[in-house]
Structure 1
Amino acid sequence: MNDIFKGTSVNGGIAIGKIFVFNTAKENIKSKKVEDIDAELKRFEDAKTRAMEQLDTVYENVAKEIGSEAEIFNNQKMTLLDEEYISSITDLISSRSSAEYAIVKTRNNYFNIFSAIDDAYFKKKAIDIEDVSNRMLSILAGDKNTNITFDEPVILLADKLTPSQTMLLDKSKVLALVTKKGSIISHTAILARSLSIPAVLGINFPEDSNGKMAIVDGFNSTMTINPDEMLIKKAKDFKSKVDEQNAHLIELRGKKNLTLSGKSIEIYANIKDSSDVSSAIYNDAGGIGLFRTEFLFLGKDRFPGEEEQFNAYKEAAENMHTKIVVIRTLDIGADKTEKYFHSVKEENPALGIRGIRMSFKYPEIFNTQLRALLRASYFGNIAILFPMISSISEISRAKKMIRNAANELIEENFPFRIPEIGVMIETPAAALISDAIAQEVDFLSIGTNDLIQYTLAADRQNEEMMPYLNAHSPAILKLIKMTIDNGHLNGCRVGICGEMAADSSLTQTFMEMGVDELSVEPYKILKLREQIRNMP
């Protein structure tokens, strides 16, 4: 009883029900010689044409349901127009291989190459190739129905799911998704978030799970198989509360963030990578107030290259259309870097090489990030945010590096745009000179998490310091008010992007201070909007 498995959550929610284990049918396509090469080439061309038609239909249906995430299927259409991919298949057929074998051989070759590259863009491309190849194989087999179907609502367990399999699920009968493989940036994870299906990846569930009762907790990244009656009742009670709250909040999508007296404020989303954009869109964010780029650098054995970063920033900007996407440059310290940084251990990393100081220490890496940001800005409304600023000279140095990156792109004929520039106000020094800082930049973003620890001299990583980390301290509120006033006096908009932005006990205070925007986790946006709309 209560066998608990831990994974990685990609979408919150609670699901209670029976398990259905989906096992992919084993492929049995062997190499065989064909006599009529022209006929086999025609079979392939017909399958390709049919696949294009199917993808058009899937795209239209998915776009109506979840909007911009349907672009996944347009990307798959581009795979069918890729000359190298198609030539690989037709060359094999011209060598007397069957169309099926040629597709499988090409699929496996490209999938192995792209999935081995430590780059989110290529990993997604590998999945696209696999999915579109399997679609053509299904067509060649006579359009055999490969949809996953159930007789009753179930918790679906699978080794992995392709985008097509995910989108063709009967959503009314899928309580939750649990897979052994996948990542938070996979297409399936993105689609699960867009469809608001609780989903947990990376759970190595037992093969004999089919038909057993389970609870999937997307908030805590767990699945419990064979839960006892007490746990089931507790989960049902919690689910009822969550469902009731969500149903009410969903009605607020499309509404304005206006108080009863007509005061307005922007509510933006904090995200950790481009895959979180779907959640921001679903929760009706006015823009992205904080894109934490450090997640592109962590969990790797090398610095992310320019193309990898460019694709991540561009994807976020394009999916947000004309809405602003504020991207913070690398903000990690020596205590959180990977081995490839070769950082020296510091006695007090919170007061050491972190934020903009880390970028200055690695100018080549900073230049790579700036180039990627300038290029991505050409495709959307991106703004650059510098972290841990404490002096005007740091701003001048960072702006000079932007100009240098821009000159390089001009010489190399890359299209780009110089975006708005902003600064994080998260040290007392920055708050105290925020009037001078505001004259140098386009906007200010108050990072309250660090502002609290630096102002109150209390390490936020030390549990014993928790009683001293008082977000309501008059000193903190005075620095915030000072920053807002100084920003406005010098033509800067001012936002708050730390945990305090979502503190409902301070929302009224921030509105009275005149803050222009609050940036919070996506799932907190509608709750915050509700509170604002009920304010006098």
Structure 2
Amino acid sequence: MLGILRSIVQEVNGARDLQESLDIIVSRVQAAMNTEVCSVYLLDPASNRYILMATEGLHKKAVGKVSLAHSEGLVGLVGSREEPINLEDAPSHPRYRYFPETGEERFRSFLGVPIIHHRRVLGVLVVQQREASRNFDEGEEAFLVTVSAQLAGVIAHSEATGAISGLSLTGEEARDVSFNGVPGAPGVAIGRGVVVYPPADLDAVPEKATDNPEGELAAFQEAVKAVQEDIQKVSERLSDKLRPEEQALFDVYLRMLGDNALPGEVVNRIRNDGLWAQGALKQVVNQYVRHFEMMDDHYLRERAVDIRDLGRRILSHLQEGDTRQVDYPEGTVLVSEELTPAMLGEVPRGRLVGLVSVRGSSNSHVAILARAMGVPTVMGLVDIPVNQLDGKELIVDGFEGQIFASPSAELRHFYEEICEEEDELFRGLEALRDKPCITTDGHRVSLLVNTGLMTDVVRSLSHGAEGIGLYRTEVPFMIKERFPSEHEQRQYYREQLEAFAPNPVTMRTLDIGGDKALSYFPINEENPFLGWRGIRISLDHPEIFLVQVRAMLKASEGFNNLQIMLPMISNVSEVEESLHLIYRVYHEVREEGYQIHMPRVGVMIEVPAAVYQVRELAERVDFLSVGSNDLTQYLLAVDRNNPRVAQLYHSYHPAVLQALVRIAQDAHSVGKPVTICGELAGDPGGALLLMAMGYDALSMNAASLPKVKSVIRSISREWAAQLLEDVLLLDSPHVIKSCVDLALRGAGFARYLRPSRSSVPVPTYESAR
């Protein structure tokens, strides 16, 4: 059964569209289980009905025509119960529903299993048998459940691909196709998708038509000839070093490149199907690979690797000879499997409006650049058919981490209004730039910004920031291909210190590891977030830490507004060891003649262990700063950059709020100030709760600062304290968020909340998350 399952999965993975996938499933499962009927019913999100999409054993004319309501018949029962139903005599069941057009009155035994992908019921897989005496046994039921679980992701992906192409399950036009990922940079963008892909990657090649088949044929034949010459040269060079049987492998490669083999099929697809050469090559190579991988003979299965290698070689030559320039229209939404800074640089100035990256996280270099540039970005879109987005109209919602393809006029209008409201709101808040952040009853809160690049600084100053609460020193390390020298670091740091002098600039020491890796200092771990990162690396590599601190101290001469912050602290000994090194560098720099003051040193509270040691840590440093994003992640055991569990990550979780209250109380009990940096601080409602908890300063992205200042200046601390008291009695993060939003609406701040899409039709499709 495992062998059969593997071959089914491989064959379905290679299908060109949803219908081909479903036809393969019903055909192969029927044969594997030796049953008379196998059918697939898919749940159409638009009509909320199960539609018979493929069958072996029932009348083919019923495909696409027979449908059941969401809870109708045995199929609806399987879907609503979300578990298998196995019956010896299906017609006698009270939920049995008979459709004459299917011809299923002959079949009595019934086994149906739900097709579920990440909590969403996609459909139902059914097998049927004529004999009433045959009851599908436990092994057959387990096999069908396994097939369903294995293929759910493929079906979801194929379904989304078809929807992007403009068709729903019923063959009607599909609109508002949605995909969920991770917010990379806030904002909303509406534009046209432009897919860019890495070189010599067959899987990344988009499939598209050509209007010049002769040109494609010429380019392909030239690429094949170049690969033949390459292989011939290698064969001749190694002829005296290889045995005859090893030398014969080169002859096999050359035979595969003969006109009657792989190239012949690619030529046919270019001529007959009108595909461009790269897309035709991808299709044929994948077909060959699937064919070899399904063979029982181990040696022959391994030849799939050779086919793929040949395909990559031909593709490489095709791409080298491809002189066509990528067209970047006005309103370009750049889409890629993995965006790089170089890809951003290719887009002409003023044309880039949004970014979509299948891989990556909110802390990746591209996300940091996107925030600095003010470009709405969504990352971590698992299983999205990225190549289908080329040329499609897209909406990028960087607030929610969601994109929409082929939006309806109503959805487009909804997001256009959001863009206009955001622009109007910020124009109206410009008058607050130089005013202090004080509540109506006189409580003062400092508003700081998180920065990483010089462009962040320019925006922060224009928004009225009172200093830097978090400068990510890893950014200069990430944009280099080696560790930056002391002199280079000193230049970066001095720019930040000078821009904000005399206001404080808090520099976090190098915080790599987790999802922030350096190409020249790779860290490979099974669980990087619980591994070697932050202060752990700095203390294990004092040569890196000492150079960084020395650069910071020298950069502060004449300004003396430097504050140093230690990340990922989990015990007191790490603080003591770090302080010893910082004091050592301070005295060395003073001895070199630099006129500097000893900077204030603080620690980040972002690990649960530190929450319960706040007093002990505070006694050894000058201030505390909570990293709320990481603290939330560790408290809830949820990777905040993983879209598969993104719905479990919630800054308003009761445990998170209780921890934040405790931190503020414990820090103030020993007389030390406490700040917070993270997404919660930049949320108007979250900022009110934090201010009520007693946080002395809030640090956020520059774009969030005007809204937060406007809200805090318009309410009293007493009002916020009452709100905090009310929400601390609640036990659901979603109820807490709703309660806070309701309070803001009641106080006249509805315009600061994201509008609800309840008035807009629910998106028809959702990607595999």
Deviations 1:426-476 (A, max 9, x none): 011111010111111111100111111212222223323323323222222
Contact 1:377/1:418 (8 A) holds in 2: no
Rounded Cα–Cα distance in structure 1 between residues aligned with 2:573 and 2:674: 21
The answer to whether 1:369 aligns with 2:548 is yes
Identity of aligned residues (%): 37
Contact 1:268/1:285 (8 A) holds in 2: yes
Which amino acid counterpart does residue 638 of structure 2 have in structure 1?
A
Q: Map of 1:85-484 to 2, 5 A cutoff?
A: 177=350, 237-333=417-513, 335-343=515-523, 345-380=524-559, 381-484=561-664
| Alignment match, 1:490 | 670
Contact 1:390/1:430 (8 A) holds in 2: yes
Rounded Cα–Cα distance in structure 2 between residues aligned with 1:245 and 1:467: 29
Contact 1:215/1:232 (8 A) holds in 2: no
Rounded Cα–Cα distance in structure 2 between residues aligned with 1:313 and 1:281: 17
Q: Which segments of 5 or more consecutive residues in structure 2 lack a partner in the other structure?
A: 1-183, 192-329, 333-348, 353-364, 378-392, 400-407, 717-769
3-state SS of 2:645 partner: helix
Larger relative contact order (CA 8 Å, sep ≥ 6) = 1
Contact 2:447/2:697 (8 A) holds in 1: yes
Residue 11 of structure 1 and its aligned partner are, at CA, apart by: 12
The answer to whether 1:508 aligns with 2:508 is no
Contact 1:277/1:316 (8 A) holds in 2: yes
Q: Quickly say closer, same or farther: Cα 1:486–1:413, change in 2 above 3 A.
A: same
Which amino acid counterpart does residue 516 of structure 1 have in structure 2?
D
Rounded Cα–Cα distance in structure 2 between residues aligned with 1:235 and 1:452: 30
Contact 1:443/1:493 (8 A) holds in 2: yes
3-state SS of 2:603 partner: strand
Contact 1:177/1:199 (8 A) holds in 2: no
Contact 2:640/2:649 (8 A) holds in 1: yes
Contact 2:534/2:568 (8 A) holds in 1: yes
Rounded Cα–Cα distance in structure 1 between residues aligned with 2:484 and 2:397: 29
Residue 535 of structure 1 and its aligned partner are, at CA, apart by: 1.6
Rounded Cα–Cα distance in structure 2 between residues aligned with 1:469 and 1:253: 32
Which amino acid counterpart does residue 483 of structure 2 have in structure 1?
F
Q: Quickly say closer, same or farther: Cα 1:510–1:156, change in 2 above 3 A.
A: closer
Contact 1:376/1:416 (8 A) holds in 2: no
Q: Quickly say closer, same or farther: Cα 1:216–1:411, change in 2 above 3 A.
A: farther
Residue 489 of structure 1 and its aligned partner are, at CA, apart by: 1.7
Rounded Cα–Cα distance in structure 2 between residues aligned with 1:470 and 1:233: 29
Residue 216 of structure 1 and its aligned partner are, at CA, apart by: 13
Residue 318 of structure 1 and its aligned partner are, at CA, apart by: 0.8
Q: Specify the structure having the higher radius of gyration (Cα).
A: 2
Q: Quickly say closer, same or farther: Cα 1:398–1:251, change in 2 above 3 A.
A: same
Rounded Cα–Cα distance in structure 1 between residues aligned with 2:376 and 2:639: 34
Contact 2:426/2:706 (8 A) holds in 1: no
3-state SS of 1:462 partner: coil
Q: Map of 1:9-158 to 2, 5 A cutoff?
A: none
Q: Quickly say closer, same or farther: Cα 1:254–1:498, change in 2 above 3 A.
A: same
Superposition CA RMSD, Å:
4.0
Residue 234 of structure 1 and its aligned partner are, at CA, apart by: 7.4
Rounded Cα–Cα distance in structure 2 between residues aligned with 1:436 and 1:272: 30
Residue 178 of structure 1 and its aligned partner are, at CA, apart by: 5.4
